[in-house]
Amino acid sequence: MKTVLIGFGFIGRSLVNTIRKKIDILKKKKIDFKLVGIGELAGYAYDDDGLNLDYVSSLNDLSKHSESFFKGKTSVELIEKSEADLLIETTPTNFLSGEPGLTHIKTALDIGIHVVTSNKGPLVLAFKKLSNLAEKRGVELKYEATVAGALPIFTMVKNCLQGDTIQKISGILNGTANYILSKMYFDGTSFDLALKEAQERGITEKDYTYDVEGIDATCKVVILANSLMGRNVKFNDVDRVGISRVTPEAVSLAKRSGYTIKLIGTIDKDLEVTPKLIPENHPLCVHGTLNALHIETDLAREITIIGYGAGRETVSAMVNDIISVSNSNNRIK
């Protein structure tokens, strides 16, 4: 499976490192994984025989891969010249323009390359267009890592609930907001202090308002609604209230009555991201940086999945997507 990776940051590097360690699992599944190119801002590394995973994993600066680094060349050029079977897209999320990921994904799908991505932006802006394009070209578009990191929500619903009608999805979709609210619940601290601690632990986005004003969770609500509930909604269709006005007094009052305050994304008739009172014995009452998704369907009734929504664990979802692509009916060329 000839593969190009665009975006060699935290997720891109963690993924290469994981595949390097798990290459035997891929081989057992008869997947001949060959990473031929890695694109970053400064240019790309390319070797038609396959880049050495041990070597590229060890590099802090990819351009040091001197004999195969093409400085000043763009990732779009890499996708176009690669004749790859698979694009892995892990550039930063931009939910306003979708770029640069939107162009990378469109380019790949258009020339018949499967896509696995962790980047929410392109899906928030153009879910229908990209899914239709993938279908038209007979290739896969996989995005398990975009919502709730390692939690296999799309795989579970699409593979295990094929006869069910999904009636409602609600969940904790941002681990940083959950960390802050948990800190306020257990330690009685103020929002500002809990936010400061989250920043010191390095778990906030560069722009922390993405976490605390529910922007990141809203992107995930849009992707879930469009992917799992057949909707065609945009970011502004979601009613959004963040957690910055949640006071320690409100948290403590709720606690005295057996409730917690959680930032909940809901996909029902209406779409919203808002702080809600959750009973302490409800399955969505999970603490720290955990994510949780609660699905209500006609047949199974209620299913909750809980786990890590960000960080290194996200790679689990991407490796599974890569294996699924190689097993799909849309055969690798």
Ligand X SMILES: NC(=O)c1ccc[n+]([C@@H]2O[C@H](COP(=O)([O-])OP(=O)(O)OC[C@H]3O[C@@H](n4cnc5c(N)ncnc54)[C@H](OP(=O)(O)O)[C@@H]3O)[C@@H](O)[C@H]2O)c1
**Interacting residues with ligand X (CB under 6 A):** 6-12, 39-41, 75, 90-93, 100, 118-120, 145, 149, 310-311, 314
| Three-state secondary-structure class, residue 121 | helix
| Three-state secondary-structure class, residue 130 | helix
Name which of 35 and 254 has its Cβ closer to ligand X: 35
Name which of 41 and 300 has its Cβ closer to ligand X: 41
Name which of 98 and 242 has its Cβ closer to ligand X: 98
Q: Per-residue b/e over 68-83, b at no fewer than 16 CB within 10 Å? A: bbbeeebbbbbbebbe
Q: What are the C-alpha distances in Å from 38 to residues 139, 193, 214, 331?
A: 21, 40, 32, 23
Q: How many CA atoms lie within 13 A of 146 on its CB side?
A: 33
Name which of 7 and 171 has its Cβ closer to ligand X: 7
Catalytic residues, by residue number, are 220
Nearest distance, CB of residue 28 and ligand X, angstroms:
27
Residue recorded with tokens 């601290």: 189
Nearest distance, CB of residue 329 and ligand X, angstroms:
27
Name which of 39 and 152 has its Cβ closer to ligand X: 39
- Residue ranges in the chain assigned as alpha helix (H): 10-21, 23-28, 53-58, 75-82, 101-110, 120-137, 153-160, 175-187, 191-200, 209-212, 215-228, 248-256, 314-327
DSSP 67: G
CB of 119 closer than 8 Å to CB of 146: yes
Which residue minimizes CB distance to ligand X? Answer: 9
